[in-house]
Amino acid sequence: MPNPWDAVLANSQRSVCRQEKDSDAHSALSPGVDVRVIVVAQGIQFNNAWFDLHIDMAENLEITTAIDYLPDLQVLRAQKTPHGLKDTFGDDLIMLDDSSASYWSEAQQVQFYIFVVSTKDLFIKALETPGLHVIYSGHARYGQGPCFGDADDGPGENWGNGTDPATYGIYRMGFPLIGIEIEEVLKQKYSISPVIADGTKPAPSLCHPEIPIGNLHQWSLDELTLDPHDNNKHSFNSADLKALLKPEPAADVKFWGFDAAGHSGYVRHILVYADWQNTGDGYDYDLGATDIQCRVFCHFGCSSFIHNFPIVRERKQWQREGDYKFAYWTQKPSTCPYTTNAWLSSILAYSKPNNSSPWEPSLKWALQHTNDYLKAISSPKWNYACDIIDQKKL
């Protein structure tokens, strides 16, 4: 099955003749223009189908609030990609279908195409396609990597390994060992592979930098589910956690864990095997098995710089080469639809001639413009200032 962008890349050297609005003449493309393809891979939750579902819910209930942190229908619609760009570019942004658009930048003399995908296999194909500008927009999964699923996904395996690992679940891009909140595992109900404690603490080189090696504990299943503030009571049912541990542990087994700040205060964590390579049958669905050929990769999940920069740039050794292999990360939690659309708007809005020229000046401008915009729309209640950074900020 062809990828959505194949036809464009097959005939990429074209120029644009745009007719005036309401003209009977046809717009046309002729040889000679710089064509740039941007693929936005939307992760589980906050993808276009998810927004459509919540828009439909809100409309059917005749209310203007779908869920408490998405204020109204207009806001829901504005976060779709590339639909949300219409607010900035109007009719100049041409929707080709519900998941793709084109935009001719007269200032840049560049023809842009934007394709939105929502499965792991298409994300991998985009990463492996030379010349593409690839964006991941979604959850970081505690640094495990991009994660894909259906619009109506409730708790289940698509928050972890995936019901169909080729299409859904986590694309592994993280450190070999990562600490996950017990509350998170039980809330989302996906299976994990815990690190069995044998008396020897894991090597720091294997651990995510936020794992407190000095404060690791060897805990039984019962101890893992205790309240970190009061070891006389349980926060969770140990049987519920046991059902999600793969393979099922023996009764006397202990696991590495620690207490640290989390999403709901000071919470208990368990160490799990995550890794960026050799993570499944055939090892086809992780960073290690991916031959990255794209020209730009943006990871707009939460705090992806600390999570994934060391893996992609240092361990995978996918490093900048001249005007190729650009990478951009978030330094703080990211409200991914806002981040993605702000970045796309900045890429399209660059106002200098850019055709058949180095990409770095326009990317550098987009970096600054996006961060300035996200800071400007932030408030004490809604903080969108995720601080996108590039690979040079160490």
Is residue 245 within 8 A of residue 194, CB to CB? The reply is yes
| The token pair that represents 249 in the structure block | 């542990």
Residue 258 has, within 13 A of its CA and on its CB side, a CA count of: 19
Distance separating alpha carbons of residues 287 and 278, to the nearest angstrom: 9
In sequence order, what DSSP letters do the residues of 343-360 get, joined into one string?
Answer: HHHHHHH--S--TTS-SH
Distance of CA 29 to the CA centre of its chain: 33
Q: 388 pairs with which residues across the strands?
A: 330
Is residue 359 within 8 A of residue 59, CB to CB? The reply is no
Task: Provide the b/e sequence for 72-81 (b: ≥16 CB within 10 Å).
Answer: ebebbebbbb
**How far lies 260's CA from each of 7, 189, 215, 230, 268, in Å?**
49, 21, 10, 14, 7
Q: Fill in the DSSP letter of residue 156.
A: S
| Helices of type H across the chain | 6-10, 48-60, 73-78, 86-89, 120-127, 182-188, 221-224, 238-242, 304-309, 336-349, 360-377
Q: Is-above-0.95 flag for pTM?
A: no
- Note down pLDDT in tens along the chain; length 394 residues: 789 999 999 886 554 444 444 555 444 445 578 999 999 999 999 999 999 988 887 777 655 444 554 456 778 888 899 999 999 999 999 999 999 999 999 999 999 999 999 999 999 999 999 999 999 999 999 999 999 998 877 899 999 999 999 999 999 999 999 999 999 999 999 999 999 999 999 999 999 999 999 999 999 999 999 999 998 999 999 999 999 999 999 989 999 999 998 877 889 999 999 999 998 776 789 999 999 999 999 999 999 999 999 999 999 999 999 999 999 999 999 999 999 999 999 999 999 999 999 999 999 999 999 999 999 998 887 788 889 998 765 4
Distance separating alpha carbons of residues 115 and 135, to the nearest angstrom: 10
For the chain, the structural domain boundaries read 6-153+281-390, 176-273
